[in-house]
Amino acid sequence: MGVSPQAQQFAQSLESVPAKSSAPGLDLMPEGQHSFILGAGRVPEVDQAIEQMGQWLRSHLGA
């Protein structure tokens, strides 16, 4: 399968966002599925992605 052209285009558009911006990043996981979150606690890459999401949310929500 692979990453859709739209996802690739979106990822490329994020490259122009300044590094100090508060915009979230986009990490493509071509081997991942749209329901990858179901791998929480079983797949290290999923756990890492969830941790990164949490860090970003905490930094923007003041938690």
User: Token digits for 53?
Assistant: 């999401």
Rg (CA), the chain: 13
pLDDT-based confidence at residue 42 (cuts at 50, 70, 90):
very high
| Residues above pLDDT 70, as percent of the chain | 76
pLDDT-based confidence at residue 41 (cuts at 50, 70, 90):
very high
pTM over 0.75: no
Q: To which residue do tokens 């003041």 refer?
A: 62
Round the average pLDDT of the chain to a whole number and report it.
77
Q: To which residue do tokens 């590094």 refer?
A: 19
